Chains A and B, each alone.
Chain A
Amino acid sequence: MKPILLYLILVGLPILGIFGLLRAGQKLSAPISLSGTWSTQLDLESLPCSSVRDPRIHPGLTTLSITQSGPHVFLTFDNIRKTTLTGNVQDLMIYASFIPEGADQASTSGSVPTAIYFHGTVDRQTAPNRLLGVLSFNCGPVQTEVPLTALRHGEGRKPTGGH
């Protein structure tokens, strides 16, 4: 009798608990999905900063890779050198930035490292694979904004709505 009772307590009860927890978890919601590879068109030729006008920058079609872990995101553009913007998802908005050392120095000489900011959004319900946003390049006091529209490669799985 004792082994059966022990088995029920140590194995049976936790199994019931797991089912209860799975039900309870249905109410949780997770941040909007951004991870994956996105295609975008960027016009970077009009930028004032020399550090951005780099031979390694290819204007036009580019790829944006987003690595996501919950609300934490890492955005990497394949045509803006080896630059990764780090940021967060807050509700439906995405905020990310890349601020190199010395970017806060006020200079128009063009030698100041360029800080890059991004904010954008994805429509969770109607277009979860379409990212709309603005990239801001800060070169000393000069700031240039570039609109960004990106489409995610592949449909992937449908969002679950966080449930």
Chain B
Amino acid sequence: MPNLAILLAQISVIVLAARIVGWLFRRLGQPQVMGEMVAGILLGPSLLGWAVPGISAALFPSASLEFLNSLSQIGLLLFMFLVGLELEPRILREQKHAAVLTSHASIIMPFFMGTVLALYLYPRLSDDRVAFTHFALFVGTAMSITAFPVLARILTERNLTRSRVGTITIACAAVDDVTAWCILAGVVLLVRASSIALPLWLTLAGTAVYFGIMLFGTRPALSRLETLYRARVAMTQDLMAVILVLMLASAWITERLGIHALFGAFLMGVIMPKNQLFVRAIRERLETLTVVLLLPLYFAFTGLRTSIGLLRGADMWFYCGIIIAVAIAGKFGGATFSARLSGMSWREAGAIGLLMNTRGLMELVVLNIGLDIGVISPALFTMMVLMALVTTFMTTPLLKLMYPTPELWQEFAAVKTARAA
């Protein structure tokens, strides 16, 4: 039974810290979520636990963390559902020619470089309970991630959503998201194969059946929800309850199948009807509570597992530096190069590479899964959290350099003229 007083104190401190640091980062021109991620790390052993261990131990006793984790996982399920909900197949169809090469190359190149890096890191940061194949596949996946929600927010803040760069990047990020989550599901399945009760063939068959039912059974049936919504012209509480239960049921099934609950929540969001009013109504009901209250708990939980103190010695910081360099070279380089070869200018291609390099929250989700299933060590987890922070932090200032406002308006004018012609 959780201690309610401690839990309330934890939530209050976490939400307050997330808002304050988020506000500070907004003042620095960074997205709010970047500050919230940093706030989580400041509340962990890297700062609070190191500076005032007594207060840290009183506020976050280890026995209380399980409940905090459960709450944060519910928040994450809701968030992943919202991410899936906002994915629009229409965008992918419109931009498919330009997006296919760029998005696939921007997944494969960092994945390849991550696998090369795994050869170097495996003897140095892993142990003999982790098979090299699992380790390499996981490092590759972690390198390939793009933070679709953070990216969308940066594009909106920079007024880039209407530009060619914006539309192609959104399409690429959407393809990246779906592909990376599928790869991760496969990796989780492989790693968990030895520990879950179901035999591997049954898990694979169950997963195939689940996808089939979701795409060809549930998806058409969900259009009735939209019809109901239109008939009542409001998102009623009953309708909302049905949507939430469906999302939780889908998450439960994927968790039981061994491919993690997050995939179920994400897929349910992806197959939801994409009527704009319907999507907005669901988002308005869920987003504030999820983003303001529950997601900061996830950041804090991640921060409590991130210990910069584990990076003792020059060698550990050297590995960290290599991880950051490879992550940037793979994602930024891969996306920029392929976008350029697809016929975009160097500036546009660079902006796409920069945006695709944003990892943000999605990277934290992947890393936490890796730590949970034991495929990465705590020190590697910390290094990759730092990599996620660096790659997210660098996006906005470099994008401002690459796309100063006058050039942006010139591009809008050019697009407008081209459309008119």
A86 to B313, CA, bound (A): 12
In the complex, the answer to whether B312 meets A72 with C-beta atoms within 8 Å is: yes
Known: A69-B125, A157-B194. A21 touches B111 (CB 8 A): no
CB-CB under 8 A from B109, the residues of chain A are 10, 14
Residue in B53, B125, B194 with the greatest tally of chain A CB atoms within 10 Å:
B125
Question: Is A127 positioned at the interface, with any CB of B under 8 Å from its CB?
Answer: no
- Cβ of A22 and Cβ of B104 under 8 Å apart? no
B131 on the A face (CB < 8 A)? yes
Contact B101 A7 (CB under 8 A): yes
Complex CA gap A157/B129 in Å reads: 6
CB of A3 within 8 Å of the partner chain? yes
B residues less than 8 Å from A17 (CB atoms): 112, 115
Among the 9-residue stretches A26-34, A40-48, A104-112, A131-139, the one with 4 or more Cβ atoms under 8 Å from chain B is A26-34
CB distance A30 to B122 under 8 Å? yes
Name the segment of B14-22, B132-140, B349-357 touching the other chain.
B132-140
With A and B bound together, what is the CA distance between A69 and B319 in angstroms? 12
Task: Give the total of B residues in contact with A, Cβ under 8 Å.
Answer: 44
How distant is the Cα of A156 from the Cα of B108 in the complex, in angstroms? 32
Residues of B within 8 A of A22 (CB): 115, 132-133, 136-137
Please state if A21 and B127 are interface contacts (CB–CB under 8 Å): no
- A69-B377 Cα distance, complex, nearest whole Å: 5
CA distance A70 to B124 in the complex (A): 5
User: Is B378 within 8 A of A21, CB to CB?
Assistant: no
Closest to B377 in A: A69
Give B307's nearest chain A residue, CB to CB.
Answer: A67
Residue B386 CB within 8 A of the other chain: no
A158 to B341, CA, bound (A): 46
Q: Check A25–B136 contact: CB distance below 8 A.
A: yes
Contact assessment for A160 and B131 in the assembled complex, using a CB-CB cutoff below 8 Å: yes
CB pair B115–A67 under 8 Å, yes or no, is no
Which A residues lie within 8 Å of B342 (CB)?
6
Query: Is B379 engaged at the interface, CB distance under 8 Å to the other chain?
Result: yes
Residues in chain B near residue A29, CB distance under 8 A? 123, 128
A72 contacts B316, C-beta separation under 8 Å: yes
Whole-angstrom distance between the alpha carbons of A160 and B116 in the complex?
A: 20
Q: Are B338 and A10 touching (Cβ within 8 A)? A: yes
| Cβ-defined contact, B101 with A21, below 8 A | no
B positions within 8 Å CB-CB of A: 53, 97, 100-101, 104-105, 108-109, 111-112, 115-116, 118-119, 122-133, 136-137, 140, 194-195, 310, 312, 316, 334, 337-338, 341-342, 374, 377-380
Q: With A14-B108, A69-B377, A162-B132 given, name 14 new contacts (CB 8 A).
A: A7-B100, A22-B136, A22-B137, A25-B132, A26-B132, A26-B133, A32-B128, A70-B126, A70-B379, A72-B379, A86-B312, A157-B129, A158-B194, A160-B132
Q: List 13 A-B contacts (CB under 8 A).
A: A6-B342, A10-B104, A10-B341, A25-B118, A28-B132, A32-B128, A34-B127, A70-B123, A72-B316, A157-B129, A160-B128, A162-B128, A163-B132
In the A-B complex, the 10 residue pairs with the smallest Cβ-Cβ separation, listed nearest first, are A69-B379, A69-B377, A14-B112, A33-B127, A33-B129, A25-B132, A10-B105, A70-B125, A160-B131, A21-B115
Hey, which bits of chain A sit against chain B, CB under 8 A?
A: 3, 6-7, 10-11, 14-15, 17-18, 21-22, 24-26, 28-35, 67-72, 74, 82, 86, 124, 156-163
